[in-house]
Amino acid sequence: MKYAFSTLGLPGTPLDRSAALAAAHGYDGLELRAHPEEPLHPGSPPAERAAGLRTLTAAGVAVLAIAGYAKVAAAGEDEPVLAELRALVGLAADLEAPCVRVFPGGRGLPQETADANAVRRLRAAAPFAERHGVRILLETHDSHRTGAGAARVLDRVAHPGAGALWDVLHTWLGGESPERSGQALAAHLGYVQVKDVASAQELTPLGLGAGVLPLAQAVAEAVSASAGAGWLCWEYEKRWYPGAAELPGRLAQGRQELARLVAAAAPGERTG
């Protein structure tokens, strides 16, 4: 199993600093938030992308995913969404990232409409992504926050260029057990985002293991689905909770907790 953390926990931080923190604390990769306020995003010119890749390579840190904000189930015309997906895939390819994260974004629409929007757009974009060596991952979030909801879309897309990103917080908030989430997503799983919070009403990020999320069960499902060869990504949502503790001071403990969870799920797995 490999470990990453999201730069959502280090808003606006220069890429060399994020890469150095990852390397110093034993993380294999970064999930890069692709927003204009971050160092790299779909509007970044080729020279900045190339320089970013050199920085990451020099630090020995991979890009697990480009965390985009395209909403594939949302209302509206298809072409703006497809253009956003193509731009995200292009950025991922330039940074040698295997994945792009997208949201459903269909909240407020009838389920059938939101599903149809997501299926149609992912079917259109998945072959493009596959040609670039990238997989578009639909996060369990908003209108499709459970594994069952995401799988309902991905079963119909049925293309290797599209898959699922399992955000453990949202499946839990959706009332779905890790076992049911894991079963629903097994055929589609790209990687798993872990985090911890105090309760369903208090979502300020905590250190891993300090809250109430069923991380042990979720990691066990992830290890089983990936046969030990997958990724776990810690998404510490400092960007949305500025009062939360700073992430750098929690990275060492978080890395230790990830390794402990994997070891408990698969005693023979190397976690060092």
Note whether residue 271 is domain-resident: no
Q: What are the 10-residue block averages of pLDDT along the chain, 272 residues in total?
A: 97 97 98 97 98 98 98 98 98 98 98 98 98 98 98 98 98 98 96 98 97 97 82 97 97 98 75 44
pLDDT digits (tens, 9 = 90+) for 137-175: 999 999 999 999 999 999 999 999 999 999 999 999 999
Note whether residue 270 is domain-resident: no
Note whether residue 165 is domain-resident: yes
Note whether residue 167 is domain-resident: yes
Instruction: Show contacts of 201-207: CB within 8 Å, 24+ apart.
Output: 203/169, 203/237, 203/241, 204/241, 204/243, 204/244, 205/9, 205/236, 205/237, 205/238, 205/241, 205/244, 207/245, 207/250, 207/253, 207/254, 207/257
**DSSP-derived 3-state class of residue 257:** helix
Rounded to a whole number, what is the distance in angstroms from the first to the last CA of the chain?
A: 10
Q: Are 40 and 95 in contact (CB under 8 A)?
A: yes
Q: Which tokens go with 140?
A: 């369990």
- Give the domain CATH number at 153: 3.20.20.150
Note whether residue 198 is domain-resident: yes
Note whether residue 45 is domain-resident: yes
Domain that holds residue 123: 2-265
At residue 270, the pLDDT reads 43
Distances (CA, A) of 231 to 28, 118, 121, 150, 228: 9, 25, 26, 19, 9
Note whether residue 120 is domain-resident: yes
Note whether residue 203 is domain-resident: yes
Number of structural domains found in the chain? 1
pLDDT digits (tens, 9 = 90+) for 218-257: 999 999 887 667 999 999 999 999 999 999 999 999 999 9
H helices of the chain, in order, are 15-24, 46-59, 78-94, 111-131, 147-157, 168-173, 178-185, 215-226, 251-265
